[in-house]
Amino acid sequence: MNAASAADVQRTFAAVDLVALRGNVRLLTEHYGQICAVVKADAYGHGLVPCARAAVSGGAVAIAVATPAEGQLLRGCGLQTAIHVLSPAEPLAARLCVHQHLTPYVSSTAFLDAFLDAGGKAEDCFLMLDSGMGREGLLMPDALAALAQSKTPLRFGGIATHLASADAPDDTSQKAQYATFIKDIQALIGIGAASDSTVISINNSAGMLSDNATTPLRNPILHRPGALIYGIAPHPTISFPTTPILTWRARIHIIKTLPPGHAVGYGATFVTQRDSRIATVGVGYADGYPRRVSQETSVLVRGQHARICGVVSMDQLQVDVTDIPDASEGDWVTLIGHEGKASITVATLASWADVPVQWPTSGLSPRVPRRYTGLE
């Protein structure tokens, strides 16, 4: 008898639909204009290289990563498109950015100096301004001081900022950040450090969809969506019809009938109230399933929601399938995705785990094999 192949014995896998990713980028481009597709952190867990390629063929004019190393990896795979590096980088990484033709978002004068010293030009990078988030970006007075100290006039390839609360539609800080950023751009235009043809980049997914996303500036706008290109709604009340690209499934390994009063899982946080069929599914927090989830959390078993009982273990989780009599050992269950009319979105799992919508896929561990459709 032949030995079973690795695929036969897989306990869990994540299917990634690159055709849907391409379609999402195309749709966003048609509605909102130029897109820099955010593929940092292994494309939020979906796979850096295949997702970057799919985003480019869907029409993204640029790709955004967090670190120069991620950019280098993409260049090594032959990606020719502009690669933006969003997070502040060590000045030591400036030379790598220059050699790999990466476009860093400059958040410190130390990095700017190192980038220019390494032969980079201001037009090859974006000036990142802190318009109110207090994370990356130069404060405007520091940016003005850097410009004043420069021996040669600096004209950046683009000017960017990042929104802190675009995914909270009622929050007023987005409006305030917009106002600050617009004022800063006008000031930079006033001193000749930018013009009305300088590219500006403000919006993440939620920012793009928000009513507050308006500017009187004539500058070309480059949006930076992450969540949306993967079909993840940034907030339940601000959605756009992109298609989810990920399905995450795992197999039921054993089903046991437990009598009433029997504990399930570490810490005995769940105790059966009736004769219960408890299925043990081969996926756990070491695969990236959130360890802490609310009591309503479920997976789909034969097209029906089955609640998780007890705590999620490292390699397994357990669900109550008492009311799903057909459920059998060896069944595939769905953690994210749909079965018939029932579905669990990434955003739903995020809300059960009380984490940001970007979390569940970004946390998918390398132990979960990715299966791609639509690979180029």
Ligand X SMILES: Cc1ncc(COP(=O)(O)O)c(C=O)c1O
Beta bridge mates, 373? 17
Choosing from 32, 40, 44, 285, the catalytic residue is 40
* CA 205 – CA 347 distance, rounded (Å): 14
Return contacts of 68-76, CB within 8 angstroms, 24+ apart: 68/93, 68/96, 68/97, 68/100, 68/102, 68/104, 70/39, 70/40, 71/97, 71/100, 71/102, 72/96, 72/100, 72/102, 73/48, 73/49, 74/48, 74/49, 75/100, 75/101, 75/102
Using rule CB under 6 A, residue 358 touches ligand X: yes
Choosing from 32, 44, 175, 266, the catalytic residue is 266
**Out of 67, 100, 108, 204, which residue is the one contacting ligand X (CB under 6 A)?**
204
Using rule CB under 6 A, residue 277 touches ligand X: no
Which is closer to ligand X, CB of 173 or CB of 313?
173
Could you tell me how many residues of this chain bind ligand X (CB under 6 A)?
12
With contact defined as beta carbons under 8 Å apart, do 116 and 147 qualify? no
- What phi, psi does 319 have (nearest 5°)? -130, 150
**Out of 224, 251, 277, 305, which residue is the one contacting ligand X (CB under 6 A)?**
224
Using rule CB under 6 A, residue 38 touches ligand X: yes
Which is closer to ligand X, CB of 204 or CB of 212?
204
* CA 213 – CA 218 distance, rounded (Å): 14
Query: Among the candidate windows 191-199, 226-234, 252-260, 365-373, which touches ligand X by CB under 6 A?
Result: 226-234
Which is closer to ligand X, CB of 205 or CB of 212?
205
The distance of closest approach from Cβ of residue 335 to ligand X in the complex, given in angstroms and rounded to an integer, is 20
Using rule CB under 6 A, residue 337 touches ligand X: no
Catalytic annotation present for 266: yes
* CA 198 – CA 209 distance, rounded (Å): 22
**Out of 23, 68, 225, 290, which residue is the one contacting ligand X (CB under 6 A)?**
225
**Active site (catalytic) residues:** 40, 266
Residues in touch with ligand X (CB under 6 A): 38, 86, 162, 204-206, 224-227, 234, 358
